Amino acid sequence: MDDSISSEYTRGLLEAIEHDPDITQASLARRLGVAVGTVNWHLKRLIAKGYIKAKRAERKKLRYIITPEGIALRAKLTVAYVESSMQLYRAVRSQARSAIKQAKAHGYDRVAIEGQGDIADVCRLTCIEMDIQPEMNASDGLPILHIEGSNIHLRNLGDLETTSIDDLRSGVNE
């Protein structure tokens, strides 16, 4: 399993257990969007490593207790998550700034943004910051910041080169 996914599950499990020590594996699975068997595997691994303890609360019910080592792990994983999120934000913002600069260099003061979600929100904010009016609907001749997955493409300005955020991420990590 990918370490980043495993870290995400581990962080999610530790946060949920901290919030509700009596939470069931089925509830954890629903909360994390995974199978109960996956939760069971992660919990066994966390217990074996000493990050949590399981105590019987009732005949068929367990209570999970986060150990001091588990608290330290959760803090470490939370910091790594925030750092990763900020790294992604900086990469998206850099790519958006580059595309907006290209549009400005061609004399545009407006761009359309095609796409939804966090990446589109960063593009909108970057437009405003750079004195470019973000438009929700593309009109004839208006450059378009097209968001597709983790890529931002500038369209309607000819064959301009675009860079994926994944390419930017690998450059940031070096």
Extents of the domains making up the chain: 3-66, 85-172
How does pLDDT run across 21-77, given as a tens digit for each residue?
Answer: 999 999 999 999 999 999 999 999 999 999 999 998 777 788 999 999 999 999 999
Tell me, what amino acid is at 12?
G
User: What is the reported pTM?
Assistant: 0.69
* CA dist., res. 154 & res. 143, Å (int): 7
Q: Which residue has the higher pLDDT, 61 or 138?
A: 61
CA dist list (Å): 142 to 43, 91, 117, 130, 134: 52, 24, 21, 17, 11
What pLDDT score does 151 carry? Answer: 81
**pLDDT band at residue 165 under the 50/70/90 scheme:** very low
pLDDT on residue 136 = 82
Tell me the DSSP string of 142-157: --EEEEETTEEEEESS
pLDDT of residue 4: 54
Strands (E), the chain: 52-58, 61-66, 110-114, 133-135, 144-148, 151-155
pLDDT for position 173: 38
Four-CA torsion 46, 47, 52, 56, nearest 10 degrees: 140
pLDDT of residue 169: 43
CB burial readout 45-70, b (16+ within 10 A) else e: ebeeeebbeeeeeeeeebebebeeeb
Q: What CATH class is the domain 3-66?
A: mainly alpha
Alpha carbons within 13 angstroms on the beta-carbon side of residue 25 total 14
Q: Does the structure show a pLDDT above 60 at 174?
A: no
Specify the pLDDT at position 53: 95
Whole-number Å distance between alpha carbons of 166 and 37: 31
Sheet (strand 144-148) strand order: 133-135, 110-114, 144-148, 151-155
Q: What is the CA radius of gyration of the chain?
A: 22
Query: pLDDT tier at 157 (50, 70, 90 boundaries)?
Result: low
Mean pLDDT of 143-156: 86
Q: How far apart are CA 95 and CA 19, in angstroms?
A: 38
Q: What is the pLDDT of residue 74?
A: 94
Check residue 66 and give its pLDDT: 95
Q: State pLDDT tens for residues 84-121.
A: 999 989 999 999 999 999 999 989 999 999 888 999 99
Nearest to 96 by CA among 137, 151, 141: 151
Task: For residue 83, give both structure tokens.
Answer: 């750092």
Residue 126 in this model has a pLDDT that exceeds 70: yes
Whole-number pLDDT of residue 171: 45
